[in-house]
Amino acid sequence: MISIVVPVYNAEKYIATTIEMVQRQTYTDWELILVDDCSKDHSVDVMKSWIGANSDKIRLIQKEVNEGAAMARNTGIDAARGRYIAFLDADDIWYPGKLEKELAFLEKHDAAFVFSSYEFGDEDGVPTGKAVHVPKTLTYRQALSRTVIFTSTVLLDTQQTGKELIHMPKIGSEDTATWWKILRAGFTAYGLDESLAIYRRPPQSLSSNKGTAVKRIWNLYRAEAKMSVATAFIYMFFWAWRATVRRVVADTIRSHVESVKRFVTLELSLVGLIVQTLLFAHVWFQWYYPLISSFRFSQEGFAFGTGLKLYFRGHLLILAVYLVVLLF
């Protein structure tokens, strides 16, 4: 059984969709653990109205003290009855085959830790066209220079890892710290390069997000990975380099994909015209021109003399006319 842990805090707007989305999964042997972290809106009322007759599949845990997403997930992990743990944030989106495909992928590789590619979505969950692709495998050293594991795509086998190892620390970017901890223990994460989730990202200050991300990753290097300042700086450089290149390349491709398509179509058409013109030039010089420029006689034996004679510009004109006819 897969235990799906969802931390909930003021998610009244999304939580009904989240529950319905889990119920639509093609893999049906699951339990949904909703951990409310002292929401101040009507999230609890919405969740209770959905549980009803589904109490055997859906459980609600109400915390008495607000402690943040990491502690809420830990509460869910401890309450899980399934062998496998999947994390889902209340505002993220899963495709219907997410659990089934990841579990099959995990069993195929006899893995303890799998994750998948994902897409970015707007506030309404509509994909923006930007996707993050994942490597086939990820080790601890490799993970230090890239933050490619998205929490809502992770599936863990607690029979191999145990629950204690996947408990999240109460720090910024607690999920990344947890993945590092698991990988540092000797496990390898296997990436399924298929988009199975949508990361709903409402409009926010991009510079603020970048600044927060840099501070968090630096703190992880120093506090969690126990790196020296020099080593942390080196890893920070490679992390920033990868993130920048990935963003620039993705944005460039996405912004100019139609222009690129038109350009490629035009170039291929032009190449086709040139190839056909070169073939015509071969036939022209090999057969046509020798025929029309040869010495001619009438049936009575009268000599008409040589046929049509062309100089370089004449040949060029013939080929140009042929190219123009092809073009139109």
Residue 281 has pLDDT above 80, yes or no: yes
Q: Is 236 exposed, middle or buried (0-12, 13-18, 19+ CB in 10 A)?
A: middle
More confident residue, 187 or 129: 187
Q: What pLDDT sits at residue 213?
A: 77
Q: Which amino acid is at 171?
A: I
Q: Which CATH superfamily is domain 2-206 in?
A: Spore Coat Polysaccharide Biosynthesis Protein SpsA; Chain A (3.90.550.10)
Mean pLDDT calculated for residue range 274-289? 87
Q: Tell me the pLDDT band of 89, cut-offs 50, 70 and 90.
A: very high
- Max avg pLDDT among 167-181, 198-212, 278-292: 167-181
pTM of the model: 0.72
Mean pLDDT of 219-229: 82
The mean pLDDT of the chain is: 87
Q: Where are the chain's structural domains?
A: 2-206, 259-327
Report the sign of the C-alpha dihedral through residues 203, 76, 179, 26, in that order.
negative
Question: For position 69, what pLDDT does the model report?
Answer: 93
What pLDDT shows up at residue 238? 74
> Contact 92/127 with Cβ under 8 angstroms?
no
Residue 30: the pLDDT is 96
Band of the pLDDT at 263, cuts 50, 70, 90? confident
Of the candidate ranges 58-67, 136-145, 183-192, 314-323, the one whose mean pLDDT is the lowest? 314-323
* Residue 313, pLDDT above cutoff 80: yes
Average pLDDT score over residue span 258-272: 79
Neighbours of 75 (CB within 10 A): 20
Residue 246 vs residue 37, higher pLDDT: 37
Give just the sign of the alpha carbon dihedral 11, 83, 147, 131.
Answer: negative
Q: Which of 149-163, 186-200, 231-245 has the lowest mean pLDDT?
A: 231-245
Q: Could you give the CA distance from residue 132 to residue 147 in angstroms, rounded to a whole number?
A: 11
- Distance CA(211)–CA(145), nearest Å, equals 17
Instruction: State residue 208's pLDDT score.
Output: 45
* Cα Rg, the chain, nearest whole Å: 32
pLDDT at 86: 98
What average pLDDT score do residues 212-238 get? 80
pLDDT at res. 303: 62
Nearest-CA neighbor of 68 among 33, 36, 34? 36
Most confident of 124-128, 174-178, 250-254: 174-178
Give the pLDDT mean for 312-328.
85
DSSP 8-state symbol, 299 = T
What per-residue confidence (pLDDT) applies to 326? 84
Please give the residue that has the higher pLDDT: either 328 or 106.
106
pLDDT at 297 over 70: no
Is the model's pLDDT at 206 over the cut of 50? no
